[in-house]
Amino acid sequence: MTPNPYEPPTSAVELRSDIVDRTQRDEFAESIRRFLDESITAFEFDELVDNYRDSQDSAVRFVAQAVWYHYDDCDDHLVSLSKPEWDYFQRLLLLLESNSRVQSRNSRRWSVSQLVALCSLLGFAWIAFHIGWSSGLLLAAMPFGIISIGIARLQRPVATHGPYDQLVFPFKTLSDLRATYHAVKFRKTRFPRHIQSRFIRSPFMCGVYQLQFYLAWLMLSPLALASQLLPATETHTEVIVESSANVA
């Protein structure tokens, strides 16, 4: 996970191109607005988002990744956002309407957690060697799942964002946000309060899905531990505000 709760945790967005694809930005912004005004459902929106994940425009790629974390692609539903999420979508629309670019860099962080994962994986291998391949192996994996869950929590980076970052992200400062608002004459859409009480699934079903997730994690802990041998990846995203750019 990344320090900013709205930032995609392992974004693949990089500054591969400085081209501003005005057509794609406008079309994508229109698709987002259709989702926000309840003209289309999450499944329909997800199909539209797929068209932009591999865009040559860094801002379009970033927004395509960012919005994915705010709807469900397993259960179809109309838009269901909190007020902070709605405001975040407005800033993403602002980004698409501007000529700003997105630059992301990934940093890899080694820590003692990789050593713990290695020792745990070797411990499981020793147990597996002695008891053989049987149903008991799944039960033997569960204690190592607890270790893996603990490692995952330890690998969360310490929050370093400022007090206003959640109000301006993906923009870096209030000045950048304000300047972009004025440059494109953007008008923010008011938050429809009736969607605040809307939920995708009941709290009971959320609990059931979460229980299934953690049970799978416990039983398949060797796979999780193997992935945790790799260094933790942190993504740092920055919007480069520009009044003009190479427009396609």
The residue extents of the domains of the chain are 22-240
**Contact, 229 vs 114, CB < 8 A?**
yes
Judged against a pLDDT cut of 50, whether residue 10 lies above it is answered with: no
Among 238, 244, 183, residue whose Cα is nearest residue 19: 244
Higher pLDDT, 48 or 241: 48
Judged against a pLDDT cut of 70, whether residue 247 lies above it is answered with: no
Tell me the whole-structure pTM to 2 decimals: 0.79
pLDDT at 161: 60
When pLDDT is averaged across residues 167-196 and rounded to a whole number, the result is 90
3-state helix, strand, coil in the chain (%, to 5): 55, 10, 40
What distance in Å separates the CA atoms of residue 226 and residue 222, rounded to the nearest whole number? 6
pLDDT at 154: 85
Q: Is 126 exposed, middle or buried (0-12, 13-18, 19+ CB in 10 A)?
A: exposed
pLDDT in tens, 152-176: 998 876 555 666 788 899 998 899 9
pLDDT in tens, 97-132: 999 999 888 888 888 999 999 999 999 999 999 888
SS3 at position 70: coil
**Contact, 20 vs 101, CB < 8 A?**
yes
